[in-house]
Structure 1
Amino acid sequence: MDVLRTELPGIGVRFEMETKRGVRLSIVAHREGRRDFVVYDPDDPDSTLECIVLDSDEASSIGELLGGARIIEKINSLHKEIDNLVSRKLTVDAASPYAGRTLGDTKARTRTGASVVAIIHGDQVTTQPTPATSLNVGDKLVTIGTSESVDAVDRILRGEI
Structure 2
Amino acid sequence: MNIRECELPGIGKKFEMTTKEQDKIAVVVHNDGRREMYHFDSKNDEECDFSITLNDEEARQLSAILGGIIYKPREIEKVEVAFDELVFEWYKVDSGASIIDKSIGELNIRQNYGVSIIAIIRQNHEKLLNPRADIIVRKGDTLVISGERNDIQTIITKLLS
| TM-score range normalised by the length of the shorter chain | 0.3 to 0.5
Give the alignment's TM-score, normalised by structure 1: 0.47
